[in-house]
Amino acid sequence: MRATLRDLTDRALTKSAALKALLYATALAASLTVGPASSLADDWKPSPILQELYEKAKAEKEVHVWSSGPDPISWINAAFSKRFPGIDVKMLADQRAPAKLIAESRAGKVTVDVLAWSLGGTIEIDKRGLLAKVDWPRYGVQESDIFFNGNAASYYSYVYAITYPKGKFTAADLPKTWKDLLDPKWKGKLVASDFLMPRIMGYFAMEWGEAEAVKWTRTLLDDQNLLVTNSPTINFLRSGERDMIIADGSHAFIGYRQQGMDTASQLLDYVPATQFIVSQIKSAPHPYAAQLLLAWLVSDDGRTAFEQATGVSDIRPGSKSQQLKQINALGAKPLYETPETMEQRADYYKKFSDMFRGN
């Protein structure tokens, strides 16, 4: 039997509520008042490849991009229209987009050109033959950042960190490793999402071994009185009930500040990173505009605009992002997702979720 809609989002993100939890912090960043277009260099000029695609894309006048939430795409139109006037970026942020894509494909009327989605959530789309092969090396994408035999390329990483009220702790006070959270001084001060905790445990199980990851979590729950909740974790910092969010998005503090809660984040010794990718849809109605958008998104200019607009970036090896520079300066170790490990991660997520949901 073919995979259901649940499989189409992300095998690790099995329920819509869970997907909302993962994207909660990134959606907040989409409301930033800092415009990406204004921060782009005025002396920028398109490469010959981009210029060639632009000349062809002008006649199409628009490009449609779909994603699971607003943050991966809401910033694009302002920056892209400055670089390539006359091409309108039309967006759909909907967790049900994969089902819509499949339905359109069966009906023979596809309306989307580009998909920006999680690695795990794109697997079933690729299996159904709905993605077009792209010559990513032509656009400067290194081989290690290409997925599904050329059908997708790395877009950005959802990086896990800790979040705390700005100014509450000195640099010396803050944990430097994930296991530092087991220090008795953090007892009764930690809070985490009941979705993100089993997610991050999956990374540690693959790095430390399952038994060690379970032991670490049990100590947090039993000895440290870790509060695990399905409510927005920032509310517990705002109320003063807890002092630190663990397993939070590294850029979540930007959105929290927009909400009136001044927070900061810190990377620790391991940097789990959920991978998001971009793809062109087969039979895209605006193929040249799709190619232009993809080529720009994976360019240095596009990646810089994304990082400046949202605070998220690609931290894969070879990335020029500021966040990867920070990770390297700390001597931290990124933990990357790969298509080969997605099934194991999904199994870990299901198994570890039971630790937090009373089963």
Q: pLDDT tens for residues 227-270?
A: 999 999 999 999 999 999 999 999 999 999 999 999 999 999 99
Q: pLDDT tens for residues 280-290?
A: 999 999 999 99
pLDDT at 12 over 50: no
Query: Alpha-carbon distance 158 to 121, whole Å?
Result: 14
Cβ-based neighbours of 153, under 8 Å, separated by 6 or more: 134, 136, 141, 145, 146, 147, 277, 278, 279, 294, 298
> pLDDT grade, residue 5 (50/70/90)?
very low
Please tell me the class of the 5-157+276-320 domain.
Answer: alpha beta
The confidence score (pLDDT) of residue 43 equals 83
How far apart, in Å, are the Cα atoms of 180 and each of 5, 224, 269? 39, 12, 10
The confidence score (pLDDT) of residue 35 equals 37
pLDDT at 30 over 70: no
List every span in the chain annotated with CATH 3.40.190.10.
Answer: 5-157+276-320, 158-272+344-353
pLDDT at 156 over 70: yes
| Domain 158-272+344-353 belongs in CATH node 3.40.190.10 | yes
β-strand partners of 270: 333
Cβ-based neighbours of 190, under 8 Å, separated by 6 or more: 181, 220, 224, 225, 226, 227, 242, 243, 244, 245, 246
Q: pLDDT tens for residues 285-304?
A: 999 999 999 999 999 999 99
The confidence score (pLDDT) of residue 222 equals 96
Q: pLDDT tens for residues 38-47?
A: 456 678 999 9
Q: Which two tokens stand for residue 106?
A: 């069966």
Mean pLDDT of the chain: 89
pLDDT at 8 over 60: no
Amino acid occupying residue 152: A
pLDDT at 24 over 90: no
Q: pLDDT tens for residues 92-150?
A: 999 999 999 999 999 999 999 999 999 999 999 999 999 999 999 999 999 999 999 99
Closest CA to 76 of 338, 294, 334, 352: 294
Q: What is the pTM of this model?
A: 0.85
Give the alpha-carbon dihedral of 266, 325, 338, 20, to 10 degrees.
40
Q: Which two tokens stand for residue 14?
A: 């099995």
